[in-house]
Amino acid sequence: MIGNHPIVAAALFAGAMLGVRGADAHAFLDHASPSVGSTVPSPPGAVTMWFTQQLEPAFTTATVTDNSGTNVDSAAAAVDPKDPTELRVPLKPLPPGTYTVTWHALSVDTHTTQGHFNFEVAGK
Amino acid sequence: MEDFLIAARAVHYASTISLAGVFAFLCLIAGPSASPRLCRRLSVLAWTSLVLALCSGGAWLLFVSTQMSGQSAADVVTQGVIGIVLNRTQFGEVWILRSGFAVILAVLLMMPHGWRGRSWRWTGLVFAASLLASLAWAGHGAATPGAPGDLHLAADVIHLLAAGAWVGSLVPLALSLAEARRNYDLGAISAARRVVVRFSVLAALSVVILFTAGLINTWFLAGTVPALIGTRYGHLLLLKIAIFIVMVVFGAVNLLRMAPRLSAGAGDRHRPVEAALGHLARNASIEALLGLCVLTIVAILGILPPGLHTEPGWPLPFRLELGALRPLANFELVIFSVLAGIFTVGGVATGAAGRYRAMTVVWAGVLVWVALAVFVVRPALEPAYPTSFFAPAEPYAAPSVARGAHIYAENCALCHGAGGKGDGPAAAALTIRPADLLEPHLFAHTPGDLFWLVSHGKGDGAMPGFAGTLSSADRWDVINFVRARGAGSLSHTVGPQISPLAAPPMPDFAFIEDGRQQTLAALEKTGPTLIVLFDAPPNAGRLARLTAARRMLTNAGVREVAIDLKPGPPPRTGSSPSLPLATVSPAVAATLQLFCAPGDGGETDLMLDRAGHPRARWSAKSAAGLPDADTLVADAAQVAQFPAAAESHAGHGG
């Protein structure tokens, strides 16, 4: 009843579809505190990031480094249990300078994203 | 690895839908009339589906774990990553639950003589439907936060269930029709007729549900026309919808043309009836194969970033500027679309029923209708470029504007002039005058239009392209600067009366007040904002009046930020009351300076609506003078009526 042709066509179609590749991207940074690219007058105690989707704590990380690439976070980044779109990294006391936040996020629909941004702590 | 994941997902969707379809067919379509032979064949189908579902589900878990952890498949198995995924992620929890459903279904299928029992069938349907519907928690809908997320998730669940009821029961339908053809007596034919009618009702219901839930999902994941026709996600979605429509056409042919023949000629040697049974079964099989194509697309869509999260490449040389259509208004467009949709459905239905003359008339009507619409919307067509709908990769905010100012001075000022009026030193020698970037026309272009012009030039090389010399981020910075400067310059024309027209918005910026960092974007979410810019040291009397006004404004729900753009030594002790002036970095001060005019006399006040558009403006030197607190409170109540910035599904940067 089912001829050969539709099956072959469907198989070819499925094969062609398998060639399509996608970039992995999902939970994007919505905003952060200190805000992206901004200057703060006094050292913040933590960097907090808000994402566009809910995050998986087990596979979401963020690090903060100074100009020389040294880690300045005082503990691992943690997803807020009450608001799973919020990621927080506690910081050591920061001297004035420019700092880079690098994040890797896994959203609950199993997609990974990453990005980075700077902020500056003003001199006295 | 991605190809394997897509394959595992496609097989898993198909097998769980097939499993749900077997039970849907038994409970909702065949009823107790299913013959023992058909039940045996359905049993084989159910077992095959369950085994495939288990294998592909395991493969999906394995491939997803490798993606999450970035480790190889072997490491994922030996180093316990799968355990972490199962125990500590939502995907893992859903998979454990679904394994439970699968085990229960296996036990049910192993029960002897179960196929005839009513409660057995309905139990099977519940668990097969749960196995299918729980897939929604592993998809895009599960990650959308808040109440919209719940709607998205609900739409996903309903979409899956409707797909299971319709697509899943196609193969059982084909099997049962083949059975009727084999037996071929009056009882079998009347049973087949009943099956076809009940299936058609279920299918029609499912199609309506699939369409509605699909619209909701499309809105969440594509949401805009550019995202639909300009991204790979959108293209695949359109392909999926096209195949869906072909499936509906096959279904309509079955319902409108083939099903009536089953009752036509029980007397005339059964010939047309036998042929109709064959056609029905064949069409159902073709529909099932098309359904498989749709599921393969679904498998790919699930791992692609949704259309709203990628930059749409606009394929057309024009775009529709709905703002230019004001007198016609969107309402009429909606009516037009609905009528076009009804005509199209009529065209498909008449064709499927074999009424070709009626079909020709309806389709001719659709063509005339579309031509009419094109004629009407033609004045609203604006030139567009492939990048017209790109969202700025650098957010429209002070840090980017400040960087852009430097890039502008080095690359653009020579022709466009340091102030942007198109009067740079090199402009005189050019036959085509460089654009005046302070003209309001600047804002008739989307940021994406400007990105194309900056990247590739304009006017056959009159303006060179900068794609080779400036990085993409640099080009966005310069666009943000040019737009911020244009917005600043246009804001000078805003008067002290609340304007119903939205002047271009102020860029976002961070400021420090009371030792705490805040952003304009966060303030705007709470309501209208009064920005007070001091370009010269404020005097004590003014500060005292502002302090009094702030109390009233705060009570009225209006945020006021007073920013000292040129912080000098702190005011002499004792003289000034304690109005906390906000401070900003030099980059932010330079950006805000764009909104101060030279003749402002040291203070500029801007009332911003919730989307950052200046709606009223006062300055120390203006004829109307600076506003008092009562005026501000009344104005703010009016400004609060203007809409907030559209909530973006996809945040970039910020």
Q: Which of B89, B171, B401, B403 to mutate to test the interface with A (most CBs of A within 10 A)?
A: B89
Using CB atoms, which residue from B84, B400, B519 is nearest to A35? Answer: B519
Contacts for B285 with CB less than 8 Å, ≥ 6 apart:
A1, A2, A6, B170, B171, B174
Predicted local distance difference test score (pLDDT) of residue B578: 59
Collapsed DSSP state (helix, strand, coil) of residue B596: coil
| B340 token code pair | 């076009």
pLDDT at B654: 31
Q: Do the Cβ atoms of A35 and B515 come within 8 Å?
A: no
pLDDT at site A10: 47
**Any idea which residue has 């296996």 for tokens?**
B106
Test mutation, B3, B93, B170, B303, chain A, max A CBs within 10 A: B303
Check whether B575 has a pLDDT greater than 70. Answer: no
Is A108 in contact with B397 (Cβ distance < 8 A)?
no
Chain A environment of B142 (Cβ under 8 Å): 54, 108-109
- What pLDDT does residue B651 have? 35
Determine the distance in angstroms separating the CA of B593 from the nearest CA of chain A, rounded to an integer: 17
CB contact under 8 A, A22 and B399: no
Q: Does residue A21 sit at the B interface (CB-CB below 8 Å)?
A: yes
Size of interface A-B (CB pairs under 8 A): 162
Q: Is residue B647 pLDDT above 60, yes or no?
A: no
Taking the C-alpha atoms of residue B610 and residue B593, their distance in angstroms, rounded to an integer, is 21
CA-based torsion, B557, B618, B480, A62: positive or negative: negative
- What DSSP designation does A75 have? S
Task: Enumerate residues 54 to 93 of chain A having a beta carbon within 8 A of any beta carbon in chain B.
Answer: 54, 56-59, 84-85
Closest Cα in chain A to B510: A38
**B603 φ/ψ angles, rounded to the nearest 5 degrees:** -140, 130
Residue B344 has pLDDT above 50, yes or no: yes
Instruction: Over range A99-114, report the average pLDDT.
Output: 89
Q: DSSP for B37-75? A: HHHHHHHHHHHHHHHHHHHHHHHHHHHHHHHHH---HHH
A106·B68 Cβ contact <8 A: yes
Q: Do B651 and A13 touch (CB under 8 A)?
A: no
Q: Do B143 and A31 touch (CB under 8 A)?
A: no
Q: How many CB atoms lie within 10 A of CB B74?
A: 9
Q: What is the DSSP letter of B325?
A: G
d(CA B83, CA A58): 11
Instruction: Say how far apart CA B340 and CA B346 lie, in whole Å.
Output: 10
Task: Give contacts of A80 with chain B, Cβ < 8 Å.
Answer: none
Average of per-residue pLDDT values in chain B: 85
CB-CB contact of A31 with A103 (8 Å): no
Q: Give the pLDDT confidence score for residue B451 in this predicted structure.
A: 94
Q: What is the pLDDT of residues B487-529, one digit of tens each?
A: 999 999 998 988 888 889 999 999 988 888 899 998 988 889 9
Which residues from chain A sit within 8 angstroms of residue B395, using beta carbons?
36
CA distance B489 to A58: 49
- Number of Cβ within a 10 Å radius of residue B149: 18
Most A CBs within 10 Å: which of B62, B67, B94, B220, as the mutation test of the A interface?
B67
For the segment B546-565, the average pLDDT, to the nearest whole number, is: 86
Are A110 and A65 in contact by the 8 Å Cβ rule? The answer is no
Is this complex scored with an ipTM above 0.90?
no
- Asked whether the beta carbons of residue A36 and residue B297 sit closer than 8 angstroms, the reply is no
Look at A1 and B522 and tell me if their CB atoms are within 8 Å: no
What single-letter DSSP state applies at residue B458?
B
DSSP helix/strand/coil, A40 = strand
**Angle B631-B637-B642 (CA atoms, 0-180°, nearest 5)?**
125
Q: Which ranges constitute the DSSP H helices of B112-185?
A: 118-133, 146-166, 170-183
State how far the Cα of B217 lies from the Cα of B236, in Å rounded to an integer: 14
Give the pair of three-digit tokens for residue B499: 């304007």
Give the Cα separation of B166 and B80 in Å (integer). Answer: 40
Contact call for A27 and B143, based on CB within 8 A: yes
What is residue B573's predicted lDDT score, i.e. its pLDDT? Answer: 47
Residues A110, B67: C-beta atoms closer than 8 Å: yes
Q: Is the pLDDT higher at A63 or at B341?
A: A63
Q: What angle do CA B298, B303, B305 make, to 5 degrees?
A: 105
Which residues are registered as beta bridge partners of A88?
A48, A78
Cis amide bond preceding A34, omega within 30: yes
Q: Test B64 with A110 for CB contact under 8 angstroms.
A: yes
Instruction: Kindly list the residues from chain A whose CB atom is less than 8 angstroms away from the CB atom of residue B289.
Output: 2, 6-7, 9-10
Question: Using the beta-carbon criterion (under 8 Å), do B397 and A53 form an inter-chain contact?
Answer: no
Relative to beta strand A46-51, strand A86-90 is antiparallel
Q: How confident is the model at residue B181, as a pLDDT? A: 85
Give dist(CA A122, CA B232) in Å, integer: 44
CB contact under 8 A, B143 and A108: yes
Name the phi and psi angles at A22, rounded to 5. Answer: -125, 150
* Residue of B511, B512, B591, B649 to mutate, interface with A, max A Cβ within 10 Å: B512
CB contact under 8 A, A110 and B296: no
Instruction: Flag the least confident range among A63-72, B32-41, B135-144, B268-277.
Output: B268-277
pLDDT of res. B653: 33
Q: Could you tell me if A17 and B292 are in contact, meaning their C-beta atoms sit under 8 angstroms apart? A: no
How much is the pLDDT for B407? 96
Quote the DSSP letter at residue B30: I
B309/A18 CB distance under 8 A: no
Beta bridge partners of B560: B530
Chain B residues closer than 8 Å to A57 by CB: 88
Strand bridging mode A97-106 / A86-90: unpaired
For A39, nearest residue in chain B (alpha carbons): B585
Could you say which of A1, A27, A34 has the minimum Cβ distance to residue B281? A1
> Residue B25 has what DSSP assignment?
I
| Residues in chain A closer than 8 A to B282 (CB atoms) | 1-2
Chain B CB within 8 Å of residue A47 CB: no
Tens digits of per-residue pLDDT, B294-338?
999 999 988 877 666 667 778 877 777 766 665 555 677 777 778
* Sequence letter at residue B210: L
Q: What distance in Å separates the CA atoms of residue A37 and residue B653, rounded to the nearest whole number?
A: 10
- Segment B609-621 shows an average pLDDT of 91
User: Is pLDDT at B410 greater than 60 in this prediction?
Assistant: yes
Higher pLDDT, B122 or B226: B122
- Output the six-digit token pair for B138: 């592993």
A89: how many CB neighbours lie within 10 A of its CB? 21
By three-state DSSP, how is residue B196 classified? helix
The verdict on a CB contact (< 8 Å) between A24 and B653 is no
Closest CA to B585 of A91, A123, A101, A44: A123
Spell out the residues 6+ positions from residue A42 whose beta carbon is closer than 8 angstroms to its own: A121, B515
* Residue B568 burial (C-beta neighbours within 10 Å; 0-12, 13-18, 19+): exposed
Q: Which residue of B has its CA nearest to A32?
A: B654
Plot region of B434 (φ>0 → left; ψ -120 to 50 → alpha; else → beta): beta
**What does the CA dihedral B427, B428, B430, B436 come to, rounded to 10 degrees?**
40
Amino acid in the structure at residue B84 = I
- Say what the pTM is: 0.78
Distance from CA of A69 to the nearest CA of B (A): 22
Nearest CA in chain A to B582: A41
DSSP assignment string, B230-280: HSHHHHHHHHHHHHHHHHHHHHHHIIIIIHHHHTT-TTTTTHHHHHHHHHH
Q: Is residue A118 classed as helix, strand or coil in its secondary structure?
A: strand
Token code pair at residue B396:
């429209």
Letter string b/e over residues B248-285, b meaning 16 or more CB atoms within 10 A of that residue's CB: bbbbbbbbbbbbebbeeeeeeeeeebbebbebbbbbbb
What integer pLDDT is reported at residue A13 of this predicted model?
46
From chain B, the residues in CB contact with A85 under 8 A are 145
Angle at which helices B2-24 and B118-133 pack, to 10 degrees? 150
Q: Are B282 and B173 in contact (CB under 8 A)?
A: no
For the segment B158-178, the average pLDDT, to the nearest whole number, is 94
Q: Is B566 helix (H, G, I), strand (E, B) or coil?
A: coil
Residue matched to tokens 């109005």: B579
More confidently predicted of B181 and B305: B181
Site from B519, B581, B584, B592 to mutate, A interface, most A CB atoms within 10 angstroms: B519
Of A31, A39, A109, the CB nearest to B585: A39
C-alpha distances out from residue B251 to B42, B46, B248, B353, B592, Å: 22, 23, 5, 11, 62
- CB contact under 8 Å between B289 and A6, yes or no, is yes
Hey, is the C-beta of A29 within 8 angstroms of any chain B C-beta?
yes
**How close B88 gets to chain A, by Cα (Å)?**
6
What pLDDT does B88 receive?
87
DSSP of B372-399: HHHHHHGGGEEE--TTTTPPPSS-SBHH
**CA atoms of B651 and B654, how far apart (whole Å):** 7
Residue B625 has pLDDT above 90, yes or no: no
Q: B94 vs B5, B134, B546, B574, CA distance in Å? A: 17, 7, 57, 65
Residue B608 CA to its chain's centroid (Å): 28
CB within 8 Å: B654 and A31: yes
pLDDT at B516: 86
Which pLDDT tens digit goes with each residue over B259-306? 888 775 554 555 678 888 888 989 999 999 999 999 999 999 888 776
Are A22 and B300 in contact (CB < 8 Å)?
yes
Q: Which residues of chain B lie closer than 8 angstroms to A6, CB-CB? A: 285-286, 289
DSSP string, B617-645: EEETTSTT-SPPHHHHHHHHHHHTTSPPP
Chain A residue closest in CA terms to B649: A52
Supply B1's token pair. 């690895």
Closest by CA to B508, choosing from B394, B644, B398, is B398
pLDDT at position B77 over 60: yes
Axis crossing angle, helix B2-24 with helix B146-166, rounded to the nearest 10: 60
* CB pair distance less than 8 Å for A28 and B650: yes
Cα gap A69→B499, rounded to integer Å: 50
Q: Is the pLDDT of residue B176 over 50?
A: yes
